[in-house]
Structure 1
């Protein structure tokens, strides 16, 4: 137990880096989750994907929104 406390006191920066990484990953996940619901359906029958592009669906094999 004493060795663990001594190691943590010496290597506190590793814990700080892990905490910063966890916060960044969590913020990215939260941002992605919010953005996922803001797009419109691509219009491809049965697709259900929310596309961010105004001209093309991001789903492979889909048609453009204009129907061409």
Structure 2
């Protein structure tokens, strides 16, 4: 199985866009596996919180890593 990653647009009829270069690789009866990754506010907030949390880590705190 080959994997291709690209950003798609949701078209007005609810279908997803497929880049021409990739569309040319598909046969009309092709079976594909789709995984949707949606950006949301919660993901952005979690990423921000994690980055801020790690900024508070000091090398002096490493003594607690082996307890």
TM over 0.5: no
Higher strand share: 1
TM-score, normalisation: structure 2: 0.36
- More helix per residue: 1 or 2? 1
Which has the bigger relative contact order, CA under 8 A and spacing at least 6?
A: 1
TM-score w.r.t. length of structure 1: 0.35
